[in-house]
Chains A and B, each alone.
Chain A
Amino acid sequence: MMRYRLEKRPEPSKLMLYGTPVAAVVLTMILGCLLFSAIGYNGLRAVQEIFLTPLTNPYKWQDLGIKAAPLIIIGTGLSVAYRANVWNIGAEGQYIIGALAATGVALMTWGMSGWWILPVMAIAGMAAGMAYASIPAFLKTRLNVNEILTSLMLTYASVQLIYYLIRGPWKDPMGIGFPQSRLFSEAARLPNIIPGTIVHLGVPIAVIVALIAWFVMSKTVFGYRMRVVGAAPHAARYGGFSETRTIWLAMLVSGGLAGLAGMLEVAGPFQRMVPGFPTNYGFTAIIVAFLGRLNPLGVIVAGVVLAITFVGGQVAQTTIGLPDEATGIFQAMMLFLLLAGDILVRYRIRRVSPEASVGAA
């Protein structure tokens, strides 16, 4: 009988590091097909509609762009934080608070015009996202409180803040009782960059953000420090890199970018604050960051892949009646398979002959 064992690689495999995310996506398609066939759907059609139609149908490309933009921006910030071993999983909350701050600016300047309104909204969104992320940062650095739990609890609280504001102080006077804010003025809405489509300014901003982050993380001392603190905290301390400062930077960068994404989303597709604003981009971006191997360039690709599943999920809903929730299952499977494949980065599978394994035992 053939036996296999795992053997530690002297160095992590580059091929596996970038090959496993691709394998994870392909395996998700295969397993997804089997899973959905097993529960009574046309599995092959489901996979085809979710993963291929958004790419082959040019009308869907604009949807891909505007769905990928927030995922790429938030995913970029999270990849910086996770590199430094800072587990900000409350990006959804920072995204919401950023959008609320931008909404606040839009409502204060309602009826006004001027090029300065959108930049002020963007700054407000980023600052608010940073401020919200600084709560877990402060508690982590000062009191060693687990940042996973605090950032997540703040997300739940932020959703209630939306409800409070749009049912109370920000309620649209013309809204016939609907809990939502006013429609933003022209000057507070993101311009479309391609006439006749829904592609807004947030799409190029997302790519630029990821490119800047890639440059900073791989070519500057700042990026080096973040990576060292995450990979070897003890060595980093000897090298004089402060862990406290790294945690603060990681939280502020990821919170600020989530806040920016929130501003772009509310000023772009939504153009007002509504109860349905939280759409879990902040959670999906966690998958984006991992699938992109915590590398901003990878995050661009991963953001598009996840956007494909969102857009494709909607297609499958209308064409073959696959419930919307199926998208989340495909996304989670992708992350499971990716994490399972991680072992191949550090280990290789060796075939052992029976005699050798007896000898080893």
Chain B
Amino acid sequence: MDLTIAILVTVVGASTPILIAALGELVVERSGVLNLGVEGMMLLGAIAGFVVQFHTGNHYLALICGAAAGMAASLIFGFLTLSLSANQTATGLALTIFGTGFSALAGASYSARPVTLMSPIFPELAAHPVLRVIFGYSFPAYFAIFMVFAIWFFLKRTRAGLILRAVGENDLSAHSIGYSVVKVRYFAVMFGGAMAGIAGACFPLTLTPQWAEGMTAGRGWIAVALVVFASWRPFRLLGGAYLFGLVMTMELYAKAGGGPLSAIPSELWAALPYIATIVVLVLISLRRDASTNAPACLGKPFMPSN
């Protein structure tokens, strides 16, 4: 029982950054833009969050600065793909290469310097042996779940959400009835950048209290894959992210404790999230509605005829 609860708590912690990043990318893709720079924006958010926490000791300020770093990076992507209609795939890759290099440069003098992890927001309940499954987390875990509901509500129930979906489904019609496709997409891309930045900041602030080069280890790419897995629906994203959190947590427990799990080489466990991503993408492709649910304009540059 204790072990089960310990595992569940770890799962939620490991899933949270992926969920936050994937929620941002979901909104971006719903507006018809494919930003493959999530990994790079996460690393920029991670280093910004780390540096601010290291110097100020304020976790919330660190999260906000992480969001700002991610958003600033997303503006480079937005300018190239939306204002200059550059190829989205290539620009996203460039953003990831840039984020990897820039965060490594900025963090070079900070390696092996510790920061403190965020503490749970309900300290008394977090110490309870059972209730900590629900109340044992710091702010980002609840923020992620709140955003699942908020984004669902925004997309389904608000006028702005409807416009965003219209822009993603049929940019030319949205344009012809007077909506600014480029402006809507800029907002979506910036939101995605801020979410990726927060997600990245979660790594030094809630998982491992230090800066390490490339510390997001491909989680940004897994977030991109999760959006496909979730068929662009927020609630499926929630389930998908926790599923991946479970896979990653199994690695930790297999390495730590003996038992049958430790007979499997630790490298296989480390490779498992990536293999699981491929398996999940295959499974999702077998479902009939998989591709039909993708936003129709995803990844295509907006080219009005004039």
Interface residues of A (CB under 8 A from B): 87, 89, 135, 139, 143-146, 148-150, 152-154, 156-157, 160-161, 163-164, 167-168, 283, 286-287, 290, 323, 325-329, 331-333, 335-336, 339-340, 342-343
Known A-B contacts A153-B225, A325-B104, A340-B84; A145 and B282 likewise in contact (beta carbons under 8 Å): yes
The answer to whether A164 and B267 touch across the interface, beta carbons within 8 angstroms, is yes
Q: Contacts of B278 on A, CB cut-off 8 Å? A: 135, 139, 145, 149-150, 153-154
**When chains A and B are docked, how far (Å) is the Cα of A333 from the Cα of B101?**
10
Q: 5 tightest A-B contacts by CB?
A: A328-B101, A332-B98, A325-B104, A164-B267, A160-B271
The answer to whether A329 and B101 touch across the interface, beta carbons within 8 angstroms, is yes
Shortest Cβ distance from A19 into chain B, in angstroms?
16
> Which positions 59-86 of chain B face chain A at CB distance < 8 Å?
76, 79-80, 84-86
Does B268 sit within 8 A of A, measured CB to CB?
yes
The answer to whether A168 and B282 touch across the interface, beta carbons within 8 angstroms, is no
**When chains A and B are docked, how far (Å) is the Cα of A156 from the Cα of B278?**
12
Q: Contacts of B108 on A, CB cut-off 8 Å? A: 323, 325
The answer to whether B101 and A145 touch across the interface, beta carbons within 8 angstroms, is no
**When chains A and B are docked, how far (Å) is the Cα of A143 from the Cα of B270?**
26
Q: Contacts of A167 on B, CB cut-off 8 Å? A: 267
The answer to whether A145 and B281 touch across the interface, beta carbons within 8 angstroms, is yes
* CB closest chain-B residue, reference A329: B101
Given contacts A89-B93, A335-B93, A336-B98, 6 further A-B contacts (CB under 8 A): A144-B285, A144-B291, A149-B278, A153-B221, A153-B277, A336-B91
Shortest Cβ distance from A80 into chain B, in angstroms?
16
Q: Contacts of A146 on B, CB cut-off 8 Å? A: 228, 281
Neighbour of B84 across the interface among A149, A157, A342, CB < 8 A: A342
Q: Contacts of A290 on B, CB cut-off 8 Å? A: 90
The answer to whether B265 and A328 touch across the interface, beta carbons within 8 angstroms, is no
Does B249 sit within 8 A of A, measured CB to CB?
no
Does B256 sit within 8 A of A, measured CB to CB?
no
Scoring B residues 96 to 124 as 1 if CB is less than 8 Å from chain A, else 0, what string do you get? 01101110110010000000000000000
**When chains A and B are docked, how far (Å) is the Cα of A287 from the Cα of B91?**
11
**When chains A and B are docked, how far (Å) is the Cα of A87 from the Cα of B89?**
8
Q: Contacts of A328 on B, CB cut-off 8 Å? A: 97-98, 100-102, 104-105
Q: Contacts of A343 on B, CB cut-off 8 Å? A: 84-86
Shortest Cβ distance from A344 into chain B, in angstroms?
9
The binding surface of chain B is classed by DSSP as: helix
Q: Contacts of A163 on B, CB cut-off 8 Å? A: 267, 270
A-B contact pairs, 5 of them (CB 8 A): A139-B282, A143-B286, A163-B267, A283-B97, A339-B94
Known A-B contacts A144-B285, A329-B101; A164 and B94 likewise in contact (beta carbons under 8 Å): no
**When chains A and B are docked, how far (Å) is the Cα of A81 from the Cα of B202?**
36
**When chains A and B are docked, how far (Å) is the Cα of A329 from the Cα of B85?**
22
Shortest Cβ distance from B131 into chain A, in angstroms?
36
Q: Which of A160, A286, A343 has the most CB of B within 10 A?
A: A160
**When chains A and B are docked, how far (Å) is the Cα of A52 from the Cα of B90?**
27
Does B158 sit within 8 A of A, measured CB to CB?
no
Does B275 sit within 8 A of A, measured CB to CB?
yes
**When chains A and B are docked, how far (Å) is the Cα of A139 from the Cα of B80?**
31
Q: Contacts of B91 on A, CB cut-off 8 Å? A: 336, 339
**When chains A and B are docked, how far (Å) is the Cα of A343 from the Cα of B224?**
27
**When chains A and B are docked, how far (Å) is the Cα of A2 from the Cα of B128?**
69
The answer to whether B267 and A336 touch across the interface, beta carbons within 8 angstroms, is no
The answer to whether A156 and B274 touch across the interface, beta carbons within 8 angstroms, is yes
Known A-B contacts A156-B274, A339-B80, A343-B84; A143 and B105 likewise in contact (beta carbons under 8 Å): no
Does B36 sit within 8 A of A, measured CB to CB?
yes
Does B218 sit within 8 A of A, measured CB to CB?
yes
Shortest Cβ distance from A137 into chain B, in angstroms?
13
Does B58 sit within 8 A of A, measured CB to CB?
no
Q: Contacts of A87 on B, CB cut-off 8 Å? A: 89
**When chains A and B are docked, how far (Å) is the Cα of A89 from the Cα of B37?**
13
Does B173 sit within 8 A of A, measured CB to CB?
no
**When chains A and B are docked, how far (Å) is the Cα of A328 from the Cα of B94?**
10
* CB closest chain-A residue, reference B94: A335
The answer to whether A153 and B274 touch across the interface, beta carbons within 8 angstroms, is yes
* CB closest chain-A residue, reference B269: A160
Shortest Cβ distance from B183 into chain A, in angstroms?
18
Q: Contacts of B101 on A, CB cut-off 8 Å? A: 325-329, 331-332
* CB closest chain-B residue, reference A332: B98
> Which positions 247-285 of chain B face chain A at CB distance < 8 Å?
265, 267-268, 270-271, 274-275, 277-278, 281-282, 285
**When chains A and B are docked, how far (Å) is the Cα of A89 from the Cα of B102?**
21
The answer to whether B94 and A336 touch across the interface, beta carbons within 8 angstroms, is yes
Q: Contacts of B265 on A, CB cut-off 8 Å? A: 164, 168
The answer to whether A329 and B102 touch across the interface, beta carbons within 8 angstroms, is yes
Q: Contacts of B98 on A, CB cut-off 8 Å? A: 328-329, 332-333, 336
Q: Contacts of A89 on B, CB cut-off 8 Å? A: 93
**When chains A and B are docked, how far (Å) is the Cα of A150 from the Cα of B283?**
13
The answer to whether A161 and B105 touch across the interface, beta carbons within 8 angstroms, is no
The answer to whether A161 and B271 touch across the interface, beta carbons within 8 angstroms, is yes
Q: Which of B36, B86, B93, B286 has the most CB of A within 10 A?
A: B93
The answer to whether A152 and B221 touch across the interface, beta carbons within 8 angstroms, is yes
Does B180 sit within 8 A of A, measured CB to CB?
no
Known A-B contacts A144-B291, A153-B221, A328-B97; A160 and B268 likewise in contact (beta carbons under 8 Å): yes
The answer to whether B274 and A336 touch across the interface, beta carbons within 8 angstroms, is no
Does B87 sit within 8 A of A, measured CB to CB?
yes
The answer to whether B267 and A161 touch across the interface, beta carbons within 8 angstroms, is yes
The answer to whether A336 and B102 touch across the interface, beta carbons within 8 angstroms, is no
**When chains A and B are docked, how far (Å) is the Cα of A145 from the Cα of B291?**
10
Q: Contacts of B76 on A, CB cut-off 8 Å? A: 336
Q: Contacts of B84 on A, CB cut-off 8 Å? A: 339-340, 342-343
Q: Contacts of A160 on B, CB cut-off 8 Å? A: 267-268, 270-271
Shortest Cβ distance from B18 into chain A, in angstroms?
14
